[in-house]
């Protein structure tokens, strides 16, 4: 069972998607994202399987939650620096977790 200390080790922050690129080299349809987490963390790269539920136009400017303190992960030729959080929809495809209101980027989940 996880403890509150385990949860507190995760650094989950609000970021704003500022750039989206297709990722044709991925095994499953994906995008390469650049997410702005504000002045303390900066802009980080992420890869996410969002193609089925979101167009690039829908993602641009969207607030998302991401784990920012995992080590970088190599996904094909791309290094993903943060884990963008989502849950599977009814069809099993990723639905982003996002704040229901406009909140400052860089804010930490608690």
Per-residue pLDDT tens over the stretch 51-68: 999 999 999 999 999 999
**Residue 87 near residue 96, CB atoms below 8 Å:** no
pTM above 0.85, yes or no: yes
Question: pLDDT > 90: what percent of the chain?
Answer: 95
**Which tokens hold the place of 36?**
């702005």
**Which tokens hold the place of 2?**
């996880």
- Domain map (residue ranges) of the chain: 4-96
| Separation between Cα atoms, residue 107 and residue 22, nearest integer Å | 28
Per-residue pLDDT tens over the stretch 16-59: 999 999 999 888 999 999 999 999 999 999 999 999 999 999 99
**Residue 62 near residue 97, CB atoms below 8 Å:** no
CA distances for 8 relative to 4, 103, 110, angstroms: 6, 21, 8
Of 17, 41, 12, which Cα lies nearest the Cα of 109? 12
Q: Which CATH architecture has domain 4-96?
A: Beta Barrel (2.40)
CA distances for 9 relative to 4, 35, 61, 105, angstroms: 9, 21, 28, 20
């Amino acid at each position: 069972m996880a403890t509150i200390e385990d949860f507190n080790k995760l650094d989950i922050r609000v970021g704003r998607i500022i750039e989206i690129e297709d990722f044709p080299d991925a095994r499953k349809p994906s995008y390469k994202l650049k997410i702005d987490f504000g002045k303390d963390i900066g802009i980080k790269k992420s890869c996410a399987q969002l193609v089925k539920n979101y167009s690039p136009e829908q993602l641009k400017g969207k607030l998302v939650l991401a784990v920012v303190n995992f080590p970088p992960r190599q996904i094909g030729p791309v290094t993903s620096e943060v884990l963008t959080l989502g849950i599977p929809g009814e069809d099993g495809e990723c639905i982003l977790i996002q704040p229901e209101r406009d909140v400052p980027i860089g804010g930490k989940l608690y």
